[in-house]
Structure 1
Amino acid sequence: MSLARRLTAAAAGLAAIGALAAAAPAHSGHGGYGGGHGGNGHGGGGHDSRTVDLQLLALNDFHGNLEPPAGSSGRVTELQADGTTKTIDAGGVEYLASSLRTARKGHDRSITVAAGDIVGASPLISGLFHDEPTVEAMNKLGLDVTSVGNHEFDEGKTELLRLQNGGCHPTDGCYEKGRKFKGADYPILSANVVNEKTGKPLLAPYSIQNVNGVRVGFIGVTLKGTPNIVSADGVKGLKFLDEAETINKYTKELKRKGVNAVVALIHEGGFPASPAYNYNCDAGGAGSGLSGPIVDIAKKTSADVDALVTGHTHNAYVCTIPDPAGNPRLVTSASSFGRLFTELDMKYDRRTQDIVRTSVKGSNHVVDRVQPKAADLTKLVDHWRTLAAPVANRTVGYISADIKANDADGNESPLGDVIADAQLAYGKTLDPKTSIALMNPGGIRTDLVYAPSGAEGPGVVTYGEGFAVQPFSNTVNLADLTGAQVITALQQQVSGANQAAPKILQVSSGLTYTLDLTKTGADRVVANTVKLGGVPIDPAGVYRVAMNSFLAGGGDGFAALGSGVNPLVGGDDLAALNAYLTANSSAASPLVPPAADRITVVK
């Protein structure tokens, strides 16, 4: 069922709900290339000093998490003085707004920025309404500028433009009588996303923020590989350019306009050596604690760029990576889902009109849940929660304990097994010959949590909780693949585009194999161990495989899955999960988390 059809199904319930007041306060204007900033009016830096203080507050990968994210998605790891770690419950836009407002106190010049994926893959309270609630929340908490991310293209460029400019949804219309969506008060930057025919950026490439006489240029880009991880329809007619080359181009343009202070907002990231948000990334020397694509991008990005705010990998880090001139430069990321924010403090030289690079200091801060909530954001969340309730609160199944979305090592997970089994069961209803189902790990957004999230009892799974797990509105498709193609697809998990950051497919019951991490590349998947029902896969045999439409299109670097024949497009993937939970669980006999023993990992 598409998102629009889910809304249609809920229309009767929604119509009965009265409109609630949730008007956003006016926010300082930001327009196109020039932008603008009225200043946040918070203390710091004398008028007679050559330098003044500048504060940047940064977030990334919020993904519409207005309510505090559940399970492991709502925790961060903190390194203690004795070397041990502890976890802290974090996130929720009411707490994020409070954290940012507290951080701004005492700062005359403060700018709040983001590095993409503010929307997309969102829980039901935002995703059901095409992320209008999240845009309204960002307006309220004072976001000044963001780059575009890959998930901003989940519903295509036209929908992205609507989020920027406002207007009711073309299919679902306005969600309340007399209330029209106004769009983002902040610019969404897409410097390296251009029209294939004209070469012009889809949205503004940069924004110049002027706060109490300090002008800073922000250039926003997403990862060049966005077309590989977004559905083809979402990026149709668009071209994605090299990140560093694009930033360097517009840095020169900003300098020609007299803007010497430049910060890049990059929706691409890295992998720190520790999961702790407060880990010392540079303990072994500059750049020693970070790997991944952002390292090369940082090394190629113009030395005239003063800092890089990044995202995409959902990791937390504040690291130093040398710029092309060999000088240290901060590269930061604030995890995901609003659990952290990054604070960058620096000096701005009023004579050179540039940031003093050696003054830039950064740290990540936890958005804890013991602080007071921001009342205006509570009002907004309550408003949209009420509108979503007729859909969100419907019971779809029961579980006996938390079913985790992620294995600690990024391999097989219990929830991945459940989803793969659900798609296999659904695939068999379309074609009894279906024998394998595969699920991409990035499509599993959070845990199924035993503890109640609302009025439901413990162990009850609601439609809203299922939506938070699978919010993409993919279809479950079938295709015929040879055994050789199945093996190749499994090898593509750890080779080619996925070699540096493996994407381990979640597999349905009956499919087993060995993942040998002592080897490299495709050899890490031991071909002769790939079995179905205990019988080795026949490379020349033909297997009917179920997978979501994203994988069926070759997404996430799985070209082999995109080469299947005899395709059949099925129904909504969330509906398949809900049907499986309903058929295989009850209050008296809840679903037990699977053992996650289909992939044998050798380390």
Structure 2
Amino acid sequence: MPAQRPLFAALLCATALLPLAAQAESVKLTLLGVGDVYNFTEEDGRGGFARLNAVARAERAANPNTLYLFDGDMLSPSLLSGFDKGQNTIDLTNIVPFDLAVPGNHEFDFGPANFLEKVKASKYPWAAINITTADDKPLDGFGGVMVKDIAGLKVALIPVAQDTSPSVASTGDLKFLPTVDTAIKAAKAAREDGADIVVGVVQTDMDNDRKLLKSHAFDVILSGDDHSYATAYDGVTAYVETSIDGQFLSPVDLNITVGEKDGKRTIAWTPAFRFVDTASVAPDPETQAMVDKLSAGLDETLNVEIGTTETPLDSRRNVVRAEEAAIGNLIADAMRDATKADVAIMNGGGIRADRTYDAGTKLTRRDILTELPFGNVTVLTEIPGSQLLGALENGVSQVEKGAGRFAQVSGVTFVYDASAEPGARVSEVMVGGQPLNPDALYKVAVNDYILGGGDGYDALGGGRLITDTGAGNLVATDVMNYVEKSKTVSAKVEGRIKKLGQ
């Protein structure tokens, strides 16, 4: 009779003869999102493409399962984009290409033809599932939902653009489907098609972000547009609002466990948010060399003093989009002076440097072009007072949202009530010291963007064009000429725009 084997050995052999139970596998997926990257240089030692590229290289080196994703706004506005229509941003990001890029509204500031030209020059794919041509066809060279196979996982990237782009940029006849509904529908379809992880790469405001989060159709949402930094996790969806100019970054590590339950594959994950202040990041040498070359070319042309401001100026976003601003008065005065108009209107969203100037500051060409980077042209139209009133109504119709349509003005004063319904907020309009006559004709200087209906200024259309885009100067040129001619300027807040109750 053969000797008996020890019990543990018998059990071991028996286990070896059974089908192997599925072993849980662990995968770390890193998602690095960035958006609203305009300026090629750093600011106060933080941000800029050289530091951004350094972070992206480091993340990919640390984890090959890394996706580097862009969520909109790069080609404009910036000082250099006023000259090259955003080509510098393509050249700089081509050094460390994205895995996927979604266009923001500012990708269309120079029109759709320029954007598609830049798409072709990119060494990475662009996509947005809610943009089509006028006849409902996909854009040439443009993608849709992207599914990446990463360590055996199907990761679906849902790229969605801002559906308000036609009202805030020069999108031509392109169609933009609703951001939220389109994104959620695509995310659910990707899940049904077997995606293990669903990532929204979106360019939209926080109101829409909240709707996307609430849907729980996504595992992760990377969002741009708001120029702020934020992270959140509600137990179902992780969220990153991706800051501005690459100043603060938040790589998200998804620690994923792939297992099996009741014969079915299971996916479980937890997020780990990391905070990167790029002030602590050494610039990527290859990118920095290109940045230095671009900077040198600009310095010679732009670091020329043109005049002095005797009063402080404030172009911060929350000021020029919400109240009468001294710098808004300066710009509108320059436009009116250049065209001999009765009234000038400048949309606050077109004033971009987001900074302050102390009294006594020497103004340079660089300062003015940084404030006015879009390359917009001053145009002169003649419209009845009723349309002028409509334009002013539009200017304050979304003041509570900080919308870029807020009107900085010259030659006109008015009062508005932010608590009233949009379209019925403006009163006590005076032009040249006289009450507005709805039937009288007024010469109004504006930029070509809002004349074409940008920022909701449809009320400016249909007038008699006295100076059109082809004959006008750049708004920036008119302001530079005005400052240079004056030598000293003393713009200040003087009651052109009054909010009821203040």
Q: Same fold (TM over 0.5)?
A: yes
Match of 1:560, SS state, is helix
Match of 1:204, SS state, is coil
Picking from 439, 447, 450, the partner of 1:548 is 447
| Distance (Å, rounded) in 1 between the aligned partners of 2:430 and 2:371 | 28
Rate the CA distance shift 1:526–1:159 in 2: closer, same or farther, 3 A: closer
1:229 aligns with 2:136: no
| Distance (Å, rounded) in 2 between the aligned partners of 1:229 and 1:50 | 47
Return the offset for 1:212.
4.3
Match of 2:295, SS state, is helix
Match of 2:380, SS state, is strand
The structure whose residues are more often helix, as a share, is 2
1:466 aligns with 2:368: yes
Picking from 408, 415, 428, the partner of 1:514 is 415
Q: 1:345: which partner in 2?
A: 253
**Aligned residue runs from structure 1 range 22-421, under 5 A:** 49-63=24-38, 65-69=39-43, 90-101=46-57, 106-124=62-80, 126-166=81-121, 184-202=122-140, 203-231=142-170, 234-236=171-173, 238-251=174-187, 254-255=190-191, 258-270=194-206, 292-299=207-214, 303-319=216-232, 328-351=236-259, 356=268, 359-362=270-273, 365-368=276-279, 371-400=281-310, 403-406=313-316, 408=318, 410-421=322-333
| Distance (Å, rounded) in 2 between the aligned partners of 1:266 and 1:596 | 41
Task: Report the TM-score when normalising by structure 2.
Answer: 0.83
Return the offset for 1:68.
2.4
| One-letter amino acid matched to 1:442 | G
| Distance (Å, rounded) in 1 between the aligned partners of 2:405 and 2:192 | 46
Q: Deviations over 1:71-114 (max 9, x none)?
A: xxx7xxxxxxxxxxxxxx74222333344455667444222212
| Distance (Å, rounded) in 2 between the aligned partners of 1:207 and 1:379 | 33
Return the offset for 1:314.
2.1
Bigger mean CA deviation after superposition, 92-101 or 218-227: 92-101
Match of 2:251, SS state, is strand
Return the offset for 1:422.
1.1
Picking from 395, 399, 406, the partner of 1:493 is 395
Task: Report the TM-score when normalising by structure 1.
Answer: 0.70
Return the offset for 1:153.
1.6
**Aligned residue runs from structure 1 range 584-595, under 5 A:** 584-585=486-487, 590-595=488-493
Return the offset for 1:580.
1.1
| Distance (Å, rounded) in 2 between the aligned partners of 1:398 and 1:156 | 35
Rate the CA distance shift 1:486–1:103 in 2: closer, same or farther, 3 A: same
Return the offset for 1:127.
4.1
| Distance (Å, rounded) in 2 between the aligned partners of 1:493 and 1:50 | 56
| Distance (Å, rounded) in 1 between the aligned partners of 2:100 and 2:494 | 42
| One-letter amino acid matched to 2:324 | E
| One-letter amino acid matched to 1:330 | A
Picking from 325, 330, 344, the partner of 1:437 is 344
Return the offset for 1:514.
2.3
| Distance (Å, rounded) in 1 between the aligned partners of 2:118 and 2:404 | 30
Max Rg structure: 2
| Distance (Å, rounded) in 2 between the aligned partners of 1:116 and 1:212 | 27
Return the offset for 1:254.
4.0
| Distance (Å, rounded) in 2 between the aligned partners of 1:205 and 1:548 | 34
| Distance (Å, rounded) in 2 between the aligned partners of 1:516 and 1:379 | 52
Tell whether the 8 Å contact from 2:184 to 2:212 is kept in structure 1 after alignment: no
| Distance (Å, rounded) in 2 between the aligned partners of 1:492 and 1:356 | 49
Tell whether the 8 Å contact from 2:136 to 2:175 is kept in structure 1 after alignment: no
Tell whether the 8 Å contact from 1:95 to 1:367 is kept in structure 2 after alignment: yes
Rate the CA distance shift 1:191–1:376 in 2: closer, same or farther, 3 A: same
| Distance (Å, rounded) in 2 between the aligned partners of 1:330 and 1:356 | 13
Match of 1:575, SS state, is helix
**Aligned residue runs from structure 1 range 8-27, under 5 A:** none
Match of 1:259, SS state, is coil
Tell whether the 8 Å contact from 1:347 to 1:355 is kept in structure 2 after alignment: no
Return the offset for 1:119.
1.6
| Distance (Å, rounded) in 2 between the aligned partners of 1:371 and 1:295 | 31
| Distance (Å, rounded) in 2 between the aligned partners of 1:221 and 1:545 | 37
1:532 aligns with 2:431: yes
| Distance (Å, rounded) in 2 between the aligned partners of 1:305 and 1:296 | 11
Q: 1:169: which partner in 2?
A: none
Unaligned regions of 5+ residues in structure 1, if any? 1-47, 75-88, 167-183, 271-291, 322-326, 429-433, 452-457
Return the offset for 1:186.
1.9
Rate the CA distance shift 1:111–1:476 in 2: closer, same or farther, 3 A: same
Bigger mean CA deviation after superposition, 249-258 or 414-423: 249-258
Return the offset for 1:194.
0.9
Unaligned regions of 5+ residues in structure 2, if any? 1-22
Bigger mean CA deviation after superposition, 93-102 or 482-491: 93-102
| Distance (Å, rounded) in 1 between the aligned partners of 2:312 and 2:29 | 44
TM-align CA RMSD:
3.1
Return the offset for 1:573.
1.5
Q: Deviations over 1:124-164 (max 9, x none)?
A: 2x442232221222233453222111111223333222222
Rate the CA distance shift 1:96–1:485 in 2: closer, same or farther, 3 A: same
Return the offset for 1:535.
2.9
Match of 2:41, SS state, is coil
| Distance (Å, rounded) in 2 between the aligned partners of 1:530 and 1:161 | 43
| Distance (Å, rounded) in 1 between the aligned partners of 2:393 and 2:346 | 15
Rate the CA distance shift 1:190–1:596 in 2: closer, same or farther, 3 A: farther
